[in-house]
Amino acid sequence: MLNRRDFIQLALATLAVTGSVEGFRRALADESLTQDQLLAFKPKGQVTLIHVTDIHAQLVPIYFREPDVNLGVGPMKGLPPHLTGEDFLKHYGIRRGTPDAYALTYLDFAELAKKYGKVGGMDRVATIVKAIRAERGDDRCLVLDGGDTWQGSYTSLQTQAQDMVDVMNALGTSAMTAHWEFTFGAERVQELIEQLKFPWLAGNVIDAQWEEPVFKAWEMFERGGVKVAVIGQAFPYTPVANPRHMIPGWSFGIREKMVQKHVNDAREAGAELVVLLSHNGYDVDRKLASRVKGIDVVLVGHTHDATPQVERVGKTILVSSGCSGKFVSRLDVEVKDGRMAGFTYKLIPVFSDVITPDADMRKLITEIRKPHEKVLNEVLGTTETPLYRRGNLAGTFDTLITTALMEERDAEIALSPGFRWGPSLIPGQQIRAEDVYSQTAITYPEVYRTEMTGKRLKEILEDVCDNLYNPDPYYQQGGDMVRTGGILFDIHPYEKMGNRIQNLRLKRTGEPIEASKNYVVTGWASVNPGVEGPPVWELVMNWIRKQKTISIPEQRDVRLVT
């Protein structure tokens, strides 16, 4: 353990190398936060599950602001993970201003980001995974990836996800499931699966013509003398949320009865611990766990929620590990008489300034990024305000995108998908090309410009709103609310479909949107085939270059009425 004098000398040495006064201040701020403290854990039982999910191809440390709005509806109202800010801190007994408060809530984001630094980085994740394996023994550990791993960065787009396959192989992953992976197309998915050094599990994907499984549903592992069955559940609404034409022969769904059959088959094969490696989303998994019997652990993906405690649904526990490489979950399980008898759990925040990078993974990441450094590091401008995406209703980075699209395509209204992925930027930070790609890197990026009636516009808003706020989780088919530019409206999440969007107006005039009138609308990420237009990142980067200095106020165009 370093004493204070040694610590300051080390920090001064770092300052001499980096020339970063901010880095020195951060080092002092983090004096009480150590890697040993982050990894401290009282082991239990025979099996250790290490869970990461929704990495979205983020290889290097980032900032990531948690949502300020995350509403639950119906029976999920007021339950985790639908808590934010002070409500979240109170529920979990966390003090404001602490490292945990910074990692888990949006409160004081800009100030705490300067104090505690960036999060994530796959070289730091590798350090954590290796440390747990070294402590417990590799024969007790499973490293499970919940999907949304291959997509979300410039390098993943340019390599068609080869970079992430290489990284996850190097991490020693035990199994994965999927969602955004499918947007590389069926042929590319099959090519990459052949390169995986671990099973790809997606038991709810069926060949649409032959009604046969496309992928393996589950895998049996033996860890710590215990037979562990891992069942993979891909995102059930992939052909709805993403282009169906990219995977035309595959059918998806929750397939509750099929999940039950997989559980039964695994138990009959001797499974003593059954784990659902899921990309359903939190509320879907909560409902599924109440209806499918025999699942011990659900590892939740898709909704990007980070919860520092597990949630119980009957005899099943739910683990949710955030996104973007910001967290690693460790769950130690004790098994007796063929069932889970006890567990201990820790959600480990990956504070990048505290966790020592793993040398092998860092080398691999450097090699992946080196051919692309010129593009990645182009400085487009500087932001004076926080830029972020995550949240049910609006994000300032999304406002930047909609503003850029309206101006670059001369449109009255802009629509931008409610994607949950995408890192944040803090005031004073340079906006680089990499930051724009990390918000927009998809395989269907074309920006359309069209005319749309007011009636059709409201129908779109109502449809997306129902995907988010339908009280039955099984009908929640998308991400967060579609982001908009050029319009104002009130959103009533607890109303019925067709009545959730009210007081819809054109922003520049304040006049009501008329059902029969045509409006010029621009947007991107259409799931329809044959869409034409420039890639979204091209327009956004052009706009930022012109502005040079960016200041995006908090979104007030959408008023939440609860």
Residues 392 and 302 in one domain: no
Give the H/E segment covering residue 6: helix 4-18
CB count within 10 Å of CB 375 equals: 14
Residues 152 and 285 in one domain: yes
325-149-277 Cα angle (round to 5): 90
pLDDT for res 359: 98
Q: State which of 286, 316, 351 marks the end of a domain.
A: 351
123 within some domain? no
8 Å CB contact between 418 and 402? no
Tokens describing residue 364: 């691999």
108 within some domain? no
Residues 23 and 50 in one domain: no
pLDDT for res 476: 86
Residues 13 and 50 in one domain: no
pLDDT for res 556: 86
Which bin fits 548, alpha (ψ -120 to 50), beta or left (φ > 0)?
left
Q: Is 208 exposed, middle or buried (0-12, 13-18, 19+ CB in 10 A)?
A: middle
Residue 61 and residue 411: Cα distance in Å, rounded?
Answer: 36
286 within some domain? yes
Residues 382 and 335 in one domain: no
Chain-centre distance for alpha carbon 237? 16
495 within some domain? yes
Residue 305 and residue 459: Cα distance in Å, rounded?
Answer: 28
User: What CATH number corresponds to the domain at position 180?
Assistant: 3.60.21.10
Residues 330 and 424 in one domain: no
- Per DSSP, the three-state class of 206 is strand
Query: The domain containing residue 525 runs over which residues?
Result: 377-560
HSE toward the beta carbon, residue 174, CA cutoff 13 A: 27
8 Å CB contact between 55 and 323? yes
Residues 297 and 390 in one domain: no
Residues 345 and 459 in one domain: no
Give the H/E segment covering residue 221: strand 218-223
511 within some domain? yes
| DSSP-assigned letter for residue 520 | E
Consecutive 10-residue averages of pLDDT for the chain (562 residues): 37 37 42 89 97 98 97 93 97 97 98 97 98 97 98 98 98 98 98 98 95 97 98 96 96 97 98 98 97 98 97 97 98 95 98 98 98 98 97 94 98 97 98 98 98 97 94 88 97 94 97 98 96 97 98 92 92
| DSSP-assigned letter for residue 224 | T
Residues 215 and 301 in one domain: yes
114 within some domain? no
Which bin fits 233, alpha (ψ -120 to 50), beta or left (φ > 0)?
beta
Residues 304 and 278 in one domain: yes
288 within some domain? yes
Residues 550 and 420 in one domain: yes
21 within some domain? yes
Residue 252 and residue 271: Cα distance in Å, rounded?
Answer: 26
Which residues 6+ apart lie within 8 Å of 495 measured at CB?
none
Residue 425 and residue 485: Cα distance in Å, rounded?
Answer: 21
Work out how many domains the chain is built from and give that number. 3
User: What CATH number corresponds to the domain at position 436?
Assistant: 3.90.780.10
Residues 335 and 484 in one domain: no
Residue where the block lists tokens 């002070």 = 86
